[in-house]
């Protein structure tokens, strides 16, 4: 499958932060496959239409990207094989000639609307906020509208030529970074243009085993017995137990680990299973 050009799926259209993050990692020699949603990025990777995909995972000020974690709840959704960090500076873009007082709607991805909440409350208290699939999708929509603005990257002013920048740097906090996951269909599937550094991270999915009583979070984590760098939680869907959760634990390798990282992880997953829980490796990088 990896003969010839690599295809990398991203949240489109071109001009999204996800595309910029992917471009920073994969450059101009790969082909970018634009998807309408984060879920579609996972789907085209899992069905091997693309070799790899890039999805937003967490923002330093607005938090976890829920659509990404909801996709990771599903079976056969591919594996995480890397991460990318991108500084995010938002702009407010309008169609050329649109004035501040004309703006009645502001469109963007929910992450961008959340990262600019204070700016919007202060400068556009009566505008209606509209969530769309991505920041660049908002820019595209606004390029044919006389009463809308889009929150997106400065890059969109170049991608969509009818747009101009009304405000720059409108994120509420300057320290605004988004972390992205690189996904591939299976472990060890993705060739890398650069030497792969020693693997130090992995993502595991923890839940109560089907048919078992719910496993309390402390029981799952203490059976895991690993260094947890971050923890996310989403409702578990394949159970009749109300308020049962799936946990996503990102594990970080301790400095002194002598065992191969994969072996350490497999032993930890086995401990969770022995304690009556369910544990699955979702990626290693
Ligand atoms: O919509 C985009 O451009 C994305 O890539 C999702 C997103 C939105 C806001 C900050 C980081 C990522």
CB-based burial label for 71 (10 Å; 0-12, 13-18, 19+): buried
| Measured distance CA(239)–CA(47) in Å, rounded | 26
Q: Which two tokens stand for residue 142?
A: 């606004």
Q: State whether residue 217 is helix, strand or coil.
A: helix
* CATH code, residues 91-168: 3.40.190.10
What confidence score (pLDDT) does residue 186 get?
A: 81
What is the band of 241 on the pLDDT scale with cuts at 50, 70, 90?
Answer: confident
Burial of 101 (0-12, 13-18, 19+ CB in 10 A): exposed
**Percent of the chain whose predicted confidence (pLDDT) is above 90:** 85
Ligand 1 atom with the shortest distance to the CA of 153 = 3
Distance 13 CA to ligand 1 centre (A): 11
- Considering the four listed CATH numbers 3.30.70.260, 1.10.287.990, 3.30.565.10, 3.10.180.10, the one that applies to the domain covering 201-284 is 3.30.70.260
Mean pLDDT score across all residues of the chain: 93
- In this prediction, residue 243 has a pLDDT band, given cuts at 50, 70 and 90, of confident
> pLDDT-based confidence at 195, cuts 50/70/90?
low
Which CATH number does 7-87+177-184 carry?
A: 3.40.190.10
Instruction: Band the pLDDT of 73: cuts 50, 70, 90.
Output: very high
CA distance 27 to 274: 44
3-state class percentages of the chain: helix first, strand second, coil last, to nearest 5: 25, 35, 40
Q: How far is the CA of 11 from the centre of ligand 1 (A)?
A: 8
Q: Which strand (E) or helix (H) includes residue 250? A: strand 245-252
- Name the segment(s) of the chain with CATH classification 3.40.190.10: 7-87+177-184, 91-168
Atom number of ligand 1 nearest to Cα 16: 3
pLDDT at residue 242, rounded to an integer: 84
Q: What is the pTM of this model?
A: 0.94
Burial 167-200 (b: 16+ CB within 10 A, else e): beebbbeeebebbbbbbbbeeebbeeeeeeeeee
Q: In this model, does residue 39 exceed pLDDT 60?
A: yes
Q: Which residues line ligand 1 (CB under 6 A)?
A: 11, 16-18, 56, 59, 88, 109, 111-112, 134-136, 178
CA of 17 to the centre of ligand 1 (A): 5
pLDDT at 1 over 60: no
Q: How many Å lie between the centroid of ligand 1 and the Cα of residue 20?
A: 10
Asked whether the predicted pLDDT for residue 255 surpasses 80, the reply is: no
Domain with CATH 3.30.70.260 in the chain: 201-284
* pLDDT at position 214: 79
């Amino acid at each position: 499958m990896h003969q010839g050009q690599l295809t990398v799926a991203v949240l489109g259209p071109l001009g999204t932060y996800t595309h910029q993050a992917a471009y920073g990692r994969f450059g101009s020699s790969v082909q970018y496959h634009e998807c309408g949603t984060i879920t579609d990025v996972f789907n085209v990777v899992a069905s091997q239409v693309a070799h790899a995909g890039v999805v937003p995972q967490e923002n330093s000020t607005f938090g976890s990207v829920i659509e990404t974690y909801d996709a990771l709840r599903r079976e056969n959704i591919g594996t995480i094989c890397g991460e990318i960090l991108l500084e995010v500076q938002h702009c407010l873009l309008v169609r050329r000639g649109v004035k501040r007082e004309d703006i009645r709607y502001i469109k963007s991805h929910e992450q961008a609307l959340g990262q600019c909440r204070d700016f919007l409350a202060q400068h556009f208290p009566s505008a209606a906020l509209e969530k769309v699939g991505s920041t660049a999708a908002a820019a595209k929509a606004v390029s044919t509208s006389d009463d809308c603005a889009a929150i997106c990257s400065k890059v969109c002013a170049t991608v969509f030529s009818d747009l101009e920048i009304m405000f720059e740097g409108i994120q509420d906090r300057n320290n605004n970074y988004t972390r992205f996951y690189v996904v591939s269909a299976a472990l060890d599937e993705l060739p890398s243009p650069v030497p792969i550094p020693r693997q130090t991270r992995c993502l595991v999915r923890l839940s109560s085993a089907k048919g078992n009583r719910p496993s309390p979070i402390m029981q799952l984590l203490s059976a895991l017995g690993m260094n947890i760098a971050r923890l996310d939680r989403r409702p578990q869907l394949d159970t009749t137990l109300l308020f049962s959760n799936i946990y996503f634990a990102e594990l970080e390798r301790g400095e002194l680990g002598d065992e191969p990282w994969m072996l350490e992880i497999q032993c930890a997953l086995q401990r969770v299973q022995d304690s009556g829980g369910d544990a699955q490796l979702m990626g290693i990088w």
